[in-house]
Amino acid sequence: MSKPRLTIKAGSDGRYSVLNARAQAYEGATQGRRAAGMVAPPSGPNRALNASLSTLRNRSRHAFRNNPWIERAISRNVSNEVGTGIVPLFESSVPEFNEALEQLWLPWTGESCADGSLDFYGQLAQAVRTRRMSGEVFIRVRYRPFAWGLTLPIQLQVIEPDHVPLDLNQDLANGNRIIAGKEYTKRGRLAAVWMYPEHPQDGYSVGANMPVRVPADQIIHHYLPLRPGQVRGEPDIVPALLRAHTYDNYEDAELRRKETRAPFTAFLQKEYSGDSDWQFDPITGEPVTDEDGLPEINAQPGTILTGLPGEKLTLFDGDNTGSGYKDYQKQQLLAIAAGAKSLYQLMTNDWEGVNDRIYRAMIQEYRREIEMAQDHLCIHQICERVGFWFTDQAVAVGLASAPDYAARYNDYNKRDWRTHRWPHIHPTQDVEATVTEIEHDLESHDAAVAKRGYRAGDVQAKNVESRKRKRDLEKKAGLQPEDA
């Protein structure tokens, strides 16, 4: 065992002091044999990622296409982060303006996609899926002519990160700097993004497919900068990639082993009395030619076999993979789920040993991480930017009246984005808890309803209208209307 080496020297006062110590104050910084395999290069955020990002991105996509655990983990994260959509509540101080935007929003969501394949909420899910699978995604606004007949002459285009070249690094004459395809000013503000018009790996481009400059106010870069100064994003499943690949290969090899072993049931052994007995079929007694090889018995279900004297039938055991195989599988899947930022139970649908209390504790922590992604990334980077584009265009084309729009810009652009609410873990208890919170002033009625994606005033108005309609119908039918 290697021990820290110390150099001790006696001072003039008779005390001893340590002059040199090869032991580190932090065990994680030790340079001994235990740390011999720890490779930790001192790389900056962009140097560490950009050189490997293309490989990581391609491997992540491959895993999503072929590994069911990775596909399930990413898909579950996307469905929880986006759900059926994140809905805006327009909250300016001008009710008429809010009403005009609300009337435009719903029909526009069905026309938002540049190629018409998805609605806005489908594009949102596509963008989040790409961010989690490829590390990042770009969204470009496209302004359309009135002749197209759109509700609002504006559309969105979701663009894969391959369109932005990782190897484009350049100092420009105006003092700006391009880092991995993103152009920044001297003060670090994003000025533009350089993009290939066609996907560089699809082979559809005709002629030169050279990067073009897209101003920053026309583009959204949706990604998670894990380190300050990081300009590109890494896939969610990077920590799980190698383990998932190795585990998938192991499982595939095990499955192939079972497949090749399955046809063999038993081995028939005979104690031959003569040197040439093996040349005769043990059942029929007929000679066995070289072409026939050793005989095989294909027994049907229910067959009773009888043997000749000296013959012994050894039946193979069931395919026993080992007593710890199940535990080993679960441990590997736990690590893959952790690396893919998911819950093992959500990824595998294995709920063995989980009761309602354990489920609440797990799902609350999982949802806290999802809510952080919703607020920090999805709403801040995508929804709010789209909200500004949408509102600006509605005012610019005169579909929403906004006097002094420039002077009151912040007021007109007040929005509250509401995510798809979580399903109740226990419906009765959860609803009763919400009602109790409102009654004891722990939460407002408006806030509780807003969590479901609605306005309390709208819900109350519809309820009053519904009760009135019911009373009118009862009165028309000659019934005694119930009290409101």
Residue 143's DSSP bridge partners are 154
pLDDT at residue 318, rounded to an integer: 64
Stretch (H or E) spanning 190: strand 190-195
Residue recorded with tokens 């609803």: 431
The H-assigned helical ranges of 216-355 are 241-261, 325-339, 344-348
The residue among 101, 75, 8, 129 whose CA lies nearest residue 415 is 101
Phi-psi map region of 311: left, alpha, beta (phi>0 left; psi -120 to 50 alpha): beta
| Per-position DSSP letters for 102-161, written without gaps between them | HHHHHHHHTT-BTTSSS-HHHHHHHHHHHHHHHSEEEEEEEE--GGG--SSSEEEEEE-G
Dist CA 191 CA 175 (whole Å) = 12
Dist CA 70 CA 217 (whole Å) = 34
pLDDT at residue 14, rounded to an integer: 57
Dist CA 458 CA 117 (whole Å) = 31
**DSSP SS3 for 18:** strand
pLDDT at residue 19, rounded to an integer: 47
Residue type, 167: D
Which pTM does this prediction carry?
Answer: 0.81
Residue 184's DSSP bridge partners are 177, 190
Please count the other Cβ atoms lying within 10 Å of the Cβ belonging to residue 409. Answer: 14
pLDDT at residue 182, rounded to an integer: 97
pLDDT at residue 449, rounded to an integer: 82
Identify whether the C-beta of residue 115 lies closer than 8 Å to the C-beta of residue 158: no
Express each pLDDT in 277-316 by its tens digit.
656 665 566 666 555 455 566 667 767 666 666 677 777 6
| Residue spans per domain, the chain | 6-35, 53-264+316-420
Token couple for 249: 């290969």
pLDDT at residue 66, rounded to an integer: 94
Residue type, 323: S
Dist CA 439 CA 266 (whole Å) = 73
Sites in the chain below the pLDDT cut of 70? 1-24, 205-207, 268-299, 302, 304-310, 316-322, 453, 481-484
pLDDT at residue 21, rounded to an integer: 47
